[in-house]
Amino acid sequence: MVKTLLPYFRPHWKLFLLDMVCAIAAALIDLAFPMVSRYAMYTLLPDRLFGAFFALMAAVGVCYALRSVCFYIMTYWGHTFGIRVETDIRADLFRHLQELDFEFYDQMRTGNLMSRLTGDLFEVTELAHHGPEDLLISVLTVVGSLVIMFTIEWRLALVVSILIPVFLVITMMQRRNMSRTSTNVKKKLAGINTDIETSLSGMKTSKAFANESVDNARFSDANTKYRGAKKDFYQAMGIFHASQEFFMGILPAVVIAVGGFLIMYGQLNYIDLITFTLFVGSFVTPIRKMAQFAETYSSAMAGIRRFREVMEMQPTVTEKPDAADLVVSEGRVDLNHVSFSYAHNPEVLHDIDLHVRGGEMIAVVGASGGGKTTLCHLIPRFYDVESGSILIDGTDVRDVTKQSLRGSIGIVQQEVFIFADTIRENIRYGRPEASDGEVEEAARRAQLNEDILHMPDGFDTYVGERGTRLSGGQRQRVSIARIFLKDPAVLILDEATSALDTVTEEHIQRSFDELMKNRTSFIIAHRLSTVRNADRIAVIEEGRILELGTHEELIASGGEYARLYHAARFLADESSHPDQEGKTG
């Protein structure tokens, strides 16, 4: 735990030191009060030194006013220290998540990651702030009190010093149980966060299928599991607090019982018994703090374990120490005998050998699951090839920085992610430093400008969560405008128009034609009508290139592409010309 948190304490050590100084001051004031009271009862009151007595009590009042200032500082600046640590940890975690590969996100659900970024780190912050402070106050107060009590009456102090370790042992045993149940709660909370995120994202689909009851049942199941995990945690917490309250009640009773016995035999006086009672009373706060520390520690350790679990994961796609920035001149792409499979699964691509000239437009077609998208994900190194190599202008993509590589490649996908922001900022995402004028020019080239002019606030129109206020065609043209702004040398269109109707597709195709000018372009498409004008067409089936050539060459060869093309034309004719039986029936 210390090894994990210490690097985050260093930048804010002044606040931490201020918190610790105030904690020490508060503990010393608590220790002083019983001794001051004992002095007053032994000396000032019997000698009728009332002026000195009231002056001493006034000084006590000033000390407690100072103590309240210390607690204000510990509360305000201590929590400020804690939140700074939390934000630093969260920033590191988010940066690390950005470094992890597609493979990680293929396996990890969004809600789980949200839980690690928010709830888990709050518990860690509570420990970072309250842990050292509570532990310091508790140790100083308890150890200091016992030392003073031994100087007054060692037998009574011995009884107290035996009871405290017993209580601490019981507390530590229960802490382990709370830690175990707390970890279980966090796992269940991550699960319910995932289900909530999925349910909210799919709410429109749920309504479309009238499946609210199905989603409600799924959510209720996760909610019930969370409730069960929380119930176990509260049970452990209940036992923990019950034993704590028993100890806090029995300790003063034991002190009075043993002290009374010593008074009966003339071995202790009432003033010292009162002093002991005051010291035991001063135990209440630190012992509660120690118990609270154990509770916070158990919850925070679960969060720290989950934090370290992610931080220890390393990206599989790594850069070489001497990786240079990619400089693209021609835009030539060579795939040399490339094979690839997802983690521990059968090969998706087998010995792909494809050489694309700079500025060439190549279409990749074939049945679903054949490896088309996987092929195009290997070019920007979202995954690394298992064998073979991918070169851009003769440079292996594994020899360059990922940022320069991906900065040279533009990708337009079927599902466009639109941020809950203005249309201007969504387009600017293609190049964050772009000026408003450049954003507007990109929109014009994407044939989106006219649509924007009819929007209520123009470029400053808020587009809603995931772009719900935009049509499918408008969302796609936003993605095209981003690419115009990015101006990459290599372009990948991954089923970019498959979700659009024919009319919208034809309109957007003009934007694509403008976008693909003078760029090396890969077009993945199901609709073969969109790839006729490609310089070459690669037909992929079961991870292998079956055919490669122009549209005319492949039609003439009468192979798989010709079969797919004629089948698509037949279906198009059938849909546009109802059968005669249907007309006369």
What's the pLDDT score for residue 205? 65
Rounded Cα distance between 247 and 280, Å, is 12
Selection from 297-311, 384-398, 408-422 with the highest mean pLDDT: 384-398
296, amino acid identity: T
DSSP state of 43: I
Tell me the three state secondary structure of residue 29. Answer: helix
Among 151-155, 236-240, 319-323, the range scoring the smallest mean pLDDT is 236-240
pLDDT higher at 579 or 403: 403
Summarize the confidence of residues 449-459 as an average pLDDT: 87
What's the pLDDT score for residue 209? 64
Summarize the confidence of residues 465-487 as an average pLDDT: 84
Among 166-170, 250-254, 362-366, 424-428, the range scoring the smallest mean pLDDT is 166-170
pLDDT reading at 354 higher than 70: yes
pLDDT reading at 55 higher than 90: yes
What's the pLDDT score for residue 582? 43
pLDDT > 90 fraction of the chain, expressed in percent and rounded: 14
Whether the full predicted model's pTM is greater than 0.85, yes or no, is no
What's the pLDDT score for residue 267? 86
Rounded Cα distance between 424 and 416, Å, is 16
490, amino acid identity: V
Summarize the confidence of residues 434-448 as an average pLDDT: 88
The average confidence (pLDDT) of the chain is 82
Tell me the three state secondary structure of residue 545. Answer: strand
Summarize the confidence of residues 419-447 as an average pLDDT: 89
Rounded Cα distance between 112 and 121, Å, is 13
pLDDT reading at 382 higher than 80: yes
Summarize the confidence of residues 490-502 as an average pLDDT: 73
End-to-end CA distance of the chain: 79
Q: Which helix (H) or strand (E) holds 504?
A: helix 502-516
pLDDT higher at 417 or 110: 417
What's the pLDDT score for residue 1? 62
pLDDT reading at 580 higher than 60: no
Confidence of residue 581 (pLDDT cuts 50, 70, 90): very low
What's the pLDDT score for residue 140? 86
pLDDT higher at 569 or 316: 316
Half-sphere exposure of 121 (CA within 13 A, CB side): 23
pLDDT reading at 333 higher than 90: yes
Among 158-162, 285-289, 525-529, 578-582, the range scoring the smallest mean pLDDT is 578-582
pLDDT reading at 584 higher than 60: no
Closest Cα to residue 6, out of 183, 127, 94? Answer: 127
Tell me the three state secondary structure of residue 535. Answer: coil
Closest Cα to residue 63, out of 27, 15, 38, 39? Answer: 27
Per-residue pLDDT reduced to its tens digit, 265-319: 888 888 888 888 888 877 777 877 776 777 677 777 777 888 888 888 888 888 8
Summarize the confidence of residues 176-193 as an average pLDDT: 73
Confidence of residue 579 (pLDDT cuts 50, 70, 90): low
Rounded Cα distance between 402 and 326, Å, is 9
Selection from 257-266, 294-303, 463-472 with the highest mean pLDDT: 257-266
Per-residue pLDDT reduced to its tens digit, 4-52: 788 888 899 899 999 999 999 988 898 888 888 888 888 888 888 889 8
Per-residue pLDDT reduced to its tens digit, 56-112: 999 999 999 999 999 999 888 888 888 888 889 888 888 888 888 877 777 777 767
